[in-house]
Structure 1
Amino acid sequence: MNLPLTGERICMTPLTETDLPEALQIYHSNPAYNELRNGSAAFSLNQLEEEYRSLSMLPGSYWLAITLRDDERMIGIGHLRLEQAESQKGWISLLLLAANFQRSGFGREVVKLVEEFVRCQSKTQIHVGVVADHISALLFWGKLGYEQYRQVIAPVGRLTRPVLLLAKHL
């Protein structure tokens, strides 16, 4: 993956294990998200390390640190997965911004950069799964042109939940 991906206000670089304590603060600023995926507002460094290692083992897996361009402060994290070369799909499996950076256009900027990157990898679709009762996330992705194509019951963090699968043709 050619990183960094740089936008007007943000930069995305690989998220490393040494970044995880800082990334944990982003989870802590989103207790409702933690509740949706783990049944508890609390989220520990051990849980994040476990998730990081588990997703890192998947082929075509990329963890992203989302930082401000001007001061390199981490404001979010993400995870992207590009499927096999013959597949036309990319997946955004995580996009989480610090609570005080939400609803300010940063998420839209991240998605635009990721979509362009996925397009440059000869992928024609990008997918995302959203917990069915996470209304603000569904509205966010819908405004960006993502459309539901299926509902599944799937593991989400430490829970099993109804998940809406959304896709956008690039």
Structure 2
Amino acid sequence: MISFEPITADTMYIVSEIINSNEAYNVLENGKKERGEEELFKEYMNEKTDSYFIKADDTYVGVIDYMKQNPNDDHPWIGAFIIHSAYHNFSFGTQAYLAFEDKLKEEGVSVLRLGVLSQNPRAKLFWERLGFTHYATKPLHHNQVNCLGKEI
């Protein structure tokens, strides 16, 4: 069963393990294989987003970072959705997203957006299979991001 557990300062070492298990993604996003503790702390321990572990029963399989209202467009956004590399290809990503979508529906959310790096076609396909559609491409730092949205 998939569940969500809030990330805390005391559990940041687990975040680091999950994020840094995905070296190829880290290179795409940041140009380096690993992300440091300070960088991850700023991203996952802030007041602008809600950050959760994705758990399969008692196992930490991923992280999700969610912004209830993006100030750029006033819509809710998934900022990060990362499954530990050891758990790729076991459908945890799909199960986790569907469970998170159910959670958002219960909270009254009707539209959800996210961004996918243009150099990550596998991720774009993942989200499109879950019903997200492309509506814009925008620059982000040294990357291009495909903006996807879905009515839930």
User: Is residue 2:17 matched to residue 1:25?
Assistant: yes
Q: Give yes or no for contact 1:88–1:122 (8 Å, CA) kept in 2.
A: no
* Distance in structure 2 (CA, Å) of the matches to 1:29 and 1:151: 27
What is the SS of the residue equivalent to 1:164?
Answer: strand
Aligned with 2:54 (options 66, 79, 84): 66
The alpha-carbon deviation at position 66 of structure 1 amounts to: 1.3
Change (3 A) 1:39 1:88: closer
| 1:118 Cα deviation after fit | 1.7
Tell me the distance in 2 between the aligned counterparts of 1:144 and 1:88: 22
Instruction: Say which of 84, 88, 97 aligns to 1:102.
Output: 88
Aligned length: 150
Q: Distance in 2 between matches of 1:93 and 1:145?
A: 17
Match of 2:47 in 1: 57
Q: 2:24 is paired with a residue of what secondary structure?
A: helix
In 1: Cα distance, 2:91 partner to 2:33 partner:
25
The answer to whether the 8 Å contact 2:2/2:99 transfers is no
Distance 1:62 1:28 in 2: 20
Shift of 1:18: 0.9
Q: Report the AA paired with residue 136 of structure 2.
A: R
Identity %: 23
Equivalent AA in structure 2 for residue 165 of structure 1: C
TM-superposed CA distance for 1:88, in Å, is 7.7
Q: Which of 35, 41, 45 is matched with 1:43 structurally?
A: 35
Q: Which amino acid aligns with 1:67?
A: K
After TM superposition, the score normalised by the length of structure 1 is: 0.82
For residues 140 and 63 of structure 1, the distance between their equivalents in structure 2, rounded to whole angstroms, comes to 21
Letter in 1 for 2:54: I
Unaligned runs of 5+ in 1: 1-8
Which stretches in structure 2 are left out of the alignment for 5+ residues? none
Tell me whether 1:14 sits opposite 2:6 in the alignment.
yes
1:125 to partner: Cα distance: 0.8
- Quick check: 2:78–2:113 contact (8 Å CA) kept in 1? yes
Q: What's the RMSD between the two structures over aligned residues? A: 1.7
